[in-house]
Structures are given as C-alpha cells and as structure tokens.
Chains A and B, each alone.
Chain A
Amino acid sequence: MATSETVDRSPALRRVESIPADATVRHVDQLEPSTLTWFLEAIEAGPTAALEAADLEDGDVIVFTACYRIDRS
C-alpha cells in the first residue's frame, strides 16, 4: 500500500478525515469496474491520466480503508 503522503501529493485524490453532509459518497464496491481499477491504481501509484475517463465528479468521496475526495481543481 502506498502511504497517504503519496496520495496527498496528488491533485486529484485527497485523503479526508471527515465527510460533509452534502457530499456525494460512494463505497469502493459501488464503483464501475473501470473506475475501481483506476481508483486502486491511483491509491497505489498516484492518479494517472485515466482519471479523465473515470465517472467521478469533483468533490465525490470514496470510502475505502480511508476516505478519499476527488479533487479536480
């Protein structure tokens, strides 16, 4: 597993400690197969260009072993 430092350097996938009430939240099991593959690779190695093809919106939160927010800004 990559450390959270690896992920936190990414501009697209950020570990968060709390989830706002208005967030769109999905469990990792709810990701489409291609998005799941992208997400797991991004956790391990940092986001790749494949993010553009992933069906994730800015601000979406994914529940995995920690919570990760999609940040496209």
Chain B
Amino acid sequence: MTEYVIIGDGISGSSAAETLREEDPDSDITVITDEGESLYNRILIKEHAKGKLPEAPISIHDEDWYDERDIDLSLNTHVTTIDPDEKTVHVHQDENISYDKLLIATGGTPTQLPVPNSDAAGVHHFWTFQDARKIKESAESADDAVVVGAGLLGIDFAAVCGAQGVSGKYLMRGDRWWRYALSADGAEIMHDGMRDVGVEPVFDSGVDRFETDDNGQVTAAVDPNGERYECDFAGVAIGLTFNTEFLYETDLEMENGIVVDEYMETNLEDVYAAGDITRFYDVLLGEQAQNGSWGSAKEQGRVAAINMAADERSEEFQWVSSYSITHFDFPFLSFGHPTLGDDHAERRYSDTEWRRVAFKDGKIVGGVLIGDLSPQSTFKQLMREQREVADQADVLLEQSVDIDKLAPAQEQ
C-alpha cells in the first residue's frame, strides 16, 4: 500500500488528495497543514473582507470531507524538516511521518515591508481567511487608509477600502499600477476605477516608515519624498515569500520557488511540488515560469497526483491561467504570462476598454483584457495551439476578434 503525504491544504494540496484517492483507492493519504482550518475558498476571502460575503460559503471542505475519503488531515501541524533519504517528514510535535511519495504544496506568506513599524497594529497583510476576518473588522472602524503594493494583490486592499467606506491613498513606487503589464493607457482605466471607489493613487511614492501612537497603533505612513499620510488602517501587499524554510537542509532545487518539470517532479526522487510555490516548466511558454492563480494551482495538484499514482510520467501540466479583478464596474482579466515575452501589441478602445497581447517567438503567451473580455477564449485557444500570430496583431486588436481572419496555421 502506497503512503502519500501532502504538505499543504490549499487548493493544490486538496486537489492532489482528491485525485490520489480516485487514482489509488487503497493507498494511505495524509494531508498536513499549519493552518487551523481545512480548505477554504481563498479567492473569495477578499469579498468577505469587503463585507459582501458571509463566512459560511467560503468554507469548501469540512473535516467530514476528509473522513469520507479516508484522508488523514492534520491541522495546526508545522513541518520542521524532511529527510528525502529516509523518506520521512518531521513535524513540530517531534514525530516522523513516513512517505513513499511526497507532495509539497505549502504556498507562501506575505512579505513584510522592511520599514520601521511595519508590524504595528492596523498594518495588515492579506493571505489567509484569518487575515480577512481581521481586515474586515479593522476596516469597518477605520477612517483613513494607506495601501502599498501596486500589483494584483494590493488592489484587493483598495477594493476593501472602497467597499468599507474608508478613504484611501494608494502609494505606488512607479508612475502607474502594475507597470510590468500595463501601459499608461491601460493603467489609467484602473486608476479611474480606484478613484471611483474613493481610493486615490499616489505615484512615485511608497512607504519609508509607519508612525504609531503610544499604543502601537498605526497613525501615518511617510513616503520617500517625506510626504506624510495619516491613516488608521494600512494594507501591505508587496509579494509572497515562499514557505520553504523546512527544506533548507535538503538538496531540493530552488530558485525563488521549488523547481519542477512539467510533471510536477522535483529533482529529488519521489518528491513533487504544486501550486504557488513552484517554478514549473511551462510547455506553452517554453521556459520555467510561476503562476499564482486558483485554476493553475488546482490543475498542478491534479497533475502531480496523476503522476504520483501512476509512478511514471503519465501527464504533463499544460494550462492557460486566468486572474480576474472584479472590484470595479468594468471587468479585468489577465491570462497566461502578460509580463513575459519579447513583443506585445495593445490598443485602447474607450474610457473603460483596453487590451494587451504579449508574444514570444511570434506566439501569444499572455495578455490583459480590460472592459471587454470577449476575446479571452480565442486568445487562450491560440495559446494552446501555439499559433504564430504576432505578425497579424491588427486582427487580434480588432474590437471583435474573428479567428477566421487569421492566416490558416498550416500556411505559416
């Protein structure tokens, strides 16, 4: 009987556990997590923090779900080390758990801003359900907010402020939000969305230090220009630090994440990884990549489990990810790898519509759609087919994309 151990009960770990039970009904499956609650809907916790969604629908699996599938779930359990030679996982209760095959799906932890008083009361990071509960409670009584981190995670804080009626200043280091993927035209639409919910973008700024009162409560943020912004709520989202400290004594290959191939295999025998923590080989991109979307993590967990149960390279990971921002009146969708590639094309269509398509070697590798998401399935299809279409960007940028206007693939 094969013993599978999964470290992490996020969507990738949980997806793997479910798949392993289906693929190997007689096996032993253990899921270990340092969180105190089983799988919940991490995408929806921002809606709870906004006050739009009650707690109950956010829970996905109760403990019965694991019992019904004969999966051993260990909550509040911290892994301290693994021994790939002995094939054991060591946990903080001084216990060793043996495995035949191991999946690491521990994700990350929000990176703390390296400035004075970044741990003050009222300064929040946003990753777990428990974080969301605290943010909701804090925002409900706040008057003025500062948000730091001009990316996909930081904008959730801006949305919380807007929904909770907190006046906000969004301090950005550069001249626009998500400057790696958006031009000034695209970013301006997002800036207008922020302003519409009461959050003012502040450019060429950031935070040099937070100020606190005698009780340790944040009272202001001071930016590198010396500008002072009063606040009783601060949201920091400058990135994730991957949870790999328990792996430092191993020879596991890491490069800002765990390096895996397209089968989710690491360089260590019978050790796999899935989810946000991986630097995986993206077969569509043709190079190692990272992705933090829900769908990608779920699929990586499933593919890892298929290969673990098959005990061979049975299925490769091939996925076009989506990440949406749904906080404003207009939709926003990022797909694939919009910040990578060697070329891009973009166009603004109206005050709320903009499109960017990123290419590598003539093929679409990602993009961003604002306002009009109708081309998303066509662009994803072209990605999967790896069609060379960069020289036909004018067709891709027409308001309504007609795939039949592209030169047939066999003629290229």
Number of chain B residues whose Cβ lies closer than 8 Å to a Cβ of chain A: 30
Chain B 313-335, CB-CB to A under 8 Å as 1, else 0, gives 00000000011101111110000
| B329 contacts across to A, CB distance below 8 A | 1, 65
B374 pairs with A40, CB closer than 8 A: yes
Q: Which of A1, A24, A41, A63 contacts B47 (CB 8 A)?
A: A63
Q: Contacts A1-B371, A33-B380, A63-B44; is A27 near B326 (CB within 8 Å)?
A: yes
Q: How far is the CA of A21 from the CA of B55 in the complex (A)?
A: 7
| A40 contacts across to B, CB distance below 8 A | 373-374, 376
B326 pairs with A65, CB closer than 8 A: yes
| A55 contacts across to B, CB distance below 8 A | none
Q: How far is the CA of A24 from the CA of B294 in the complex (A)?
A: 17
Residues of A22-48 whose CB lies within 8 A of B: 22-30, 33, 36-37, 40-41, 44
Number of chain A residues whose Cβ lies closer than 8 Å to a Cβ of chain B: 24
Q: Which residue of A lies closest to B11 (CB)?
A: A30
B295 pairs with A30, CB closer than 8 A: yes
Chain B 30-73, CB-CB to A under 8 Å as 1, else 0, gives 00000000000101100100001111111000000000000000
Least Cβ distance of B168 to chain A in Å?
A: 20
B54 pairs with A19, CB closer than 8 A: yes
| A65 contacts across to B, CB distance below 8 A | 326-331
Q: Is B377 in the interface zone, CB < 8 Å from A?
A: yes
Q: Is B293 in the interface zone, CB < 8 Å from A?
A: yes
| B294 contacts across to A, CB distance below 8 A | 27, 29-30
| A64 contacts across to B, CB distance below 8 A | 324, 326, 331
Q: How far is the CA of A27 from the CA of B58 in the complex (A)?
A: 10
- List the 10 closest A-B pairs by CB distance, nearest first: A25-B57, A27-B43, A21-B56, A37-B377, A21-B54, A29-B324, A65-B326, A64-B326, A40-B373, A28-B324
Chain A interface residues toward B at CB < 8 A: 1, 19-30, 33, 36-37, 40-41, 44, 61, 63-65, 67
Q: A25-B57, A36-B377, A65-B329 are in contact. List 16 more A-B contacts (CB 8 A).
A: A1-B330, A1-B372, A19-B52, A19-B54, A20-B54, A24-B57, A25-B44, A27-B326, A29-B322, A30-B43, A36-B322, A36-B376, A40-B373, A63-B47, A64-B324, A65-B330
Could you pull out 24 A-B pairs where Cβ atoms are within 8 angstroms?
Answer: A1-B330, A1-B371, A1-B372, A20-B54, A21-B56, A23-B57, A25-B41, A25-B53, A25-B58, A26-B41, A27-B47, A27-B326, A29-B294, A29-B295, A29-B323, A30-B41, A36-B322, A36-B377, A40-B376, A41-B374, A63-B44, A63-B47, A64-B324, A65-B326
